[in-house]
């Protein structure tokens, strides 16, 4: 089976992890701050806080921005459930903004409309989370302008998007947001097995996320009540978690980062070849947004619904049978049973649901060969035949 996504592990990656295994620190050593510095410098952010997952990073980003019970939080329905669950962890109320039918990212006109209505009703959100779906940036300048006008905070869920750019700078520099989140799950652009990171230019937000990452415990006398009692001493000053990344993971991540830009360039080459090979087939290929250079985490096609052509379900099943490990990203979050129990219904976000009915993610990863790509295209051609 040709998978839809796959990590690339080199001998240099293996050597970097083995060196940590043979060192004094498996966790809480020098590799984590080193990895944080590498990512922050690469994307152009001031501060980086590594964690054990992007889900943890989303949670602490919400807490650092003060999200709590009674607050409102908005995101897109076309995302992984973690983009919304982070608000529920904080006791906040989740709502969604429908997607743009061309880019499948959160629709800025829909966001503007919903904000105007929310202002009139006195129900403005505290945080909005745009998700850079498939690695392509949302229209962040417009979202940033709305954030200033209506006074909400912005967390970019860039789990798909490390190495992507917007208006000439890397996603993660937080030019139009308070915090940006990356994921290092193996299917993403670079991996630490499990892992995530929060980027910000605000030192207070970075310090708060670092504190909450490790139990809310500090060893810094400046943060203590009454000062230190000696070298053994620490104080718990908040209720935190154990969301730490290990040094093994950070060493893998640092080694992977040396190949980030070539990885994204290779993903673009694969995407352009897909575009050309799919030109005559009855599918919609990914739109390129103005001002955005996608990280191309995913290459999603839409199988156009018609009475004569095979359905998405049929095309998907035929591809899997042919050994092509396609997938679907994503089942709209508001249609999940857990979210329906919170009051959402099928039909609430029509563009998201139309997209979901037609979407298929084709194999996309840097080591995908042209021969494998040709196999995918031939199988797709057969699968689309009535
Ligand atoms: C993968 C992903 C996450 C969660 O990442 P983890 O590192 O697995 O916790 C969150 N949001 C989006 C959009 C993702 O794709």
If one counts the domains in the chain, the total is 2
The four Cα atoms 225, 226, 228, 232 give a dihedral, to 10 degrees, of -60
The radius of gyration of the chain's CA atoms, rounded to the nearest angstrom, is 22
**80 CB within 6 A, ligand 1:** yes
pLDDT attached to residue 152: 98
CATH code of the domain containing 111: 3.40.640.10
Q: Which among 268, 281, 279, 273 is positioned nearest to 379, based on CA atoms? A: 281
| 21 and 87 in a common domain | yes
Which of 49, 52, 53, 54 is the pocket-test mutation for ligand 1 (most atoms within 8 Å of CB)?
A: 54
Reported as a single tens digit per residue, the pLDDT across 211-247 is 999 999 999 998 899 989 999 999 999 999 999 999 9
| 164 and 148 in a common domain | yes
Burial class (CB in 10 A: 0-12, 13-18, 19+), 13: buried
Task: Using the atom order of ligand 1, give the atom closest to the CA of residue 55.
Answer: 9
Integer Cα distance of 227 and 354 in angstroms: 59
| 283 and 235 in a common domain | no
Which of 51, 80, 85, 328 is the pocket-test mutation for ligand 1 (most atoms within 8 Å of CB)?
A: 80
Whether residue 136 is predicted with pLDDT greater than 90 in this model: the reply is yes
Which of 49, 53, 99, 159 is the pocket-test mutation for ligand 1 (most atoms within 8 Å of CB)?
A: 159
Query: Where among 257, 292, 311 does a domain terminate?
Result: 257
Distance 383 CA to ligand 1 centre (A): 30
| 249 and 171 in a common domain | yes
**361 CB within 6 A, ligand 1:** no
pLDDT category of residue 307 using cuts at 50, 70 and 90: confident
Query: Can you say how many angstroms the Cα of residue 154 is from the centroid of all Cα atoms in its chain?
Result: 14
Which of 4, 51, 60, 83 is the pocket-test mutation for ligand 1 (most atoms within 8 Å of CB)?
A: 83
| 105 and 40 in a common domain | yes
Mean pLDDT score, 95-120: 98
Whether residue 308 is predicted with pLDDT greater than 90 in this model: the reply is no
Contact 294, 135 (CB under 8 A): yes
| 271 and 251 in a common domain | no
In the β-sheet with 169-170, what is the strand arrangement from edge to edge? 169-170, 165-166, 292-293
Integer Cα distance of 77 and 333 in angstroms: 5
pLDDT attached to residue 288: 95
pLDDT attached to residue 320: 98
Task: List all residues 6 or more positions away from 86 whose beta carbon is below 8 Å from its beta carbon.
Answer: 55, 58, 59, 61, 62, 129
**53 CB within 6 A, ligand 1:** yes
Integer Cα distance of 100 and 334 in angstroms: 17
| 83 and 51 in a common domain | yes
pLDDT attached to residue 190: 98
- Name the β-bridge partners of 236: 217
Distance 90 CA to ligand 1 centre (A): 18
- Name the β-bridge partners of 292: 166
Integer Cα distance of 248 and 41 in angstroms: 21
pLDDT attached to residue 260: 98
Structural domain of residue 325, as residue ranges? 260-383
Q: How many Cβ atoms are within 10 Å of 338's Cβ, its own excluded?
A: 12
Distance 55 CA to ligand 1 centre (A): 6
Which of 114, 126, 153, 188 is catalytic? The answer is 188
Integer Cα distance of 334 and 95 in angstroms: 9
CATH code of the domain containing 287: 3.90.1150.10
Integer Cα distance of 104 and 209 in angstroms: 30
| 346 and 251 in a common domain | no
**185 CB within 6 A, ligand 1:** yes
| 235 and 301 in a common domain | no
Mean pLDDT score, 348-356: 98
φ, ψ of residue 94 to 5 degrees: the values are: -95, 140
Distance 186 CA to ligand 1 centre (A): 11
pLDDT attached to residue 305: 82
Distance 204 CA to ligand 1 centre (A): 24
Mean pLDDT score, 160-182: 98
pLDDT attached to residue 304: 87
| 267 and 151 in a common domain | no
Mean pLDDT score, 137-158: 98
Mapping DSSP onto H, E and C, the string for the chain reads: CECCCCCCCCHHHHHHHHHHHCCCCCECCCHHHHHHHHHHHHHCCCEEEEECCHHHHHHHHHHHCCCCCCCEEEECCCCCCHHHHHHHHCCCEEEECCECCCCCCECHHHHHHHHHHHHHHCCCCCEEECECHHHCCCCHHHHHHHHHHHCCEEEEECCCCCCCEECCEECCCCCCCCEEEEECCCCCCCCCCCCEEEEECCHHHHHHHHHHHECCEECCHHHCCCCCCCCCCCEECCCCCECCCEHHHHHHHHHHHCCHHHHHHHHHHHHHHHHHHCCCCCEECCCCCCCEECCCCCEEEEECCCCCCCCHHHHHHHHHHCCECCECCCCCHHHCHHHHCCCCCCCCCHHHHHHHHHEEEECCCCCCCHHHHHHHHHHHHHHCCC
Nearest CA to ligand 1 atom 5: 54
* Residue 188: active-site member: yes
**76 CB within 6 A, ligand 1:** no
Task: Using the atom order of ligand 1, give the atom closest to the CA of residue 183.
Answer: 7
| 118 and 158 in a common domain | yes
**332 CB within 6 A, ligand 1:** no
pLDDT attached to residue 82: 98
Mean pLDDT score, 112-131: 98
Reported as a single tens digit per residue, the pLDDT across 13-28 is 999 999 999 999 999 9
Query: Where among 212, 233, 257 does a domain terminate?
Result: 257
């Amino acid at each position: 089976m040709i998978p839809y996504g796959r990590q690339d592990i080199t001998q240099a990656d293996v050597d970097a992890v083995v060196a940590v295994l043979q060192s004094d620190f498996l966790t809480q050593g020098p590799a984590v701050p080193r990895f944080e510095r590498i990512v922050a410098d690469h994307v152009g952010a001031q501060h980086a806080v590594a964690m054990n997952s992007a889900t943890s990073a989303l949670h602490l980003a919400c807490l650092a921005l003060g999200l709590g019970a009674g607050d409102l939080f908005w995101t897109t329905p076309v995302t992984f459930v973690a983009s919304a669950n982070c608000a529920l962890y904080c006791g906040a109320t989740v709502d969604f903004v429908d997607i743009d039918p061309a880019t499948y990212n959160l629709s800025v006109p829909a966001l503007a409309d919903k904000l105007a209505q929310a202002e009139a009703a006195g129900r403005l959100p505290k945080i909005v989370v745009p998700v850079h779906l498939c690695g392509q940036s949302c229209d962040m300048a417009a979202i940033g302008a709305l954030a200033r006008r209506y006074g909400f905070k912005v967390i970019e869920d860039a789990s798909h998007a490390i190495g992507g750019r917007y208006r000439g700078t890397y996603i993660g520099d937080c030019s139009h947001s308070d915090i940006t989140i990356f994921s290092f799950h193996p299917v993403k652009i670079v991996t630490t097995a499990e892992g995530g990171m929060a980027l910000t230019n605000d030192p207070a937000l970075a310090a708060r996320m670092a504190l909450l990452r490790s139990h809310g415990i500090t060893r810094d006398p400046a943060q203590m009540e009454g000062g230190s009692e000696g070298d053994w001493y620490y104080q718990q000053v908040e209720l935190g978690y154990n969301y730490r990344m290990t040094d093994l993971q950070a060493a893998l991540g640092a080694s992977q980062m040396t190949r980030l830009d070539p990885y994204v360039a290779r993903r673009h080459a694969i995407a352009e070849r897909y575009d050309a090979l799919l030109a005559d087939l009855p599918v919609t290929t990914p739109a390129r947004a103005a001002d955005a250079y996608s990280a191309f985490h995913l290459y999603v096609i839409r199988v156009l619904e018609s009475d004569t052509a095979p359905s998405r379900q049929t095309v998907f099943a035929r591809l899997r049978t042919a050994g092509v490990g396609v997938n679907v990203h994503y089942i709209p979050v508001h249609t999940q049973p857990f979210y329906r129990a919170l009051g959402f219904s099928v039909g609430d976000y029509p563009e998201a649901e139309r997209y979901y009915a037609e979407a298929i993610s084709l194999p996309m990863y840097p080591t995908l060969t042209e021969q494998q790509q040709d196999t995918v295209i031939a199988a797709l051609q057969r699968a689309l035949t009535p």
